Structure 1
């Protein structure tokens, strides 16, 4: 293996780790904005918590569908489609006029964003030899583990410096 291949594979695993971390990152980043979201959408934090529930449902259900889709249509098109849905629904969250709209947008955001988790696993299986996969998966999981640690701090920054909508602008 030459140096360029090593660099490309290292870059790829970081990129795949970021794609796979999109789900956990998106969950934890907006948590600091719950109180502001509740105030702006004229509801309480219990109803805002349903946005979290809808996200969990979307991420669980979406993975069931993306697995076969990624296998049938390849990695790139489903990944781009899912990320497009993710970005549009993140904007939808930022512009939500009601908690009901926000709940629906979070569901769509999860359905789009979970493609990163599915495609990342498939790409690792495609690119890495069997004896290299464990290391690649470990690195990807390490990156995924960092996401929930840094996401609330980033979300808090946006809430303190601007408002909760900026969290979703950033996620777009």
Structure 2
């Protein structure tokens, strides 16, 4: 039996093997973050088991893949009942209490004192929602003030105040939704 002799070739090949294996191990443990990209990954190398849940976003997907996510359109559902108009009544009221325009013409209106108005409509509005805004029917600007609304026995009671809090006769817009 022959005993191996320590030769230059044996020494160099052993050293090369040691460096190659050690360098690969070092690279695997010490790769910088984000240093592996598409160029370093071979085709078909990544499967669903290597991707964490929630790791792929819709923005990461190609348009053709997104299109395939949609199923077929279902049948049209039944039509709902016909609704009533959103605004039941509306009125533009002048400072003296006169109805200038709107759908309350068949109702009643009164100016009951300085800045106080009662606007009636064909039906009782106690269960409705209503709002009023200071403003004229033309391009005239109105001075600052504020306006409040209330239920006035099935009609809309409106009170207007100037900026100092004193009652004031001013034009306004009123909307009632039932």
The structure with more radius of gyration:
2
TM-score, with structure 2 as normaliser: 0.20
The structure richer in helix per residue is 1
TM-score by length of 1: 0.21
Higher relative contact order (CA 8 A, sep 6+): 1
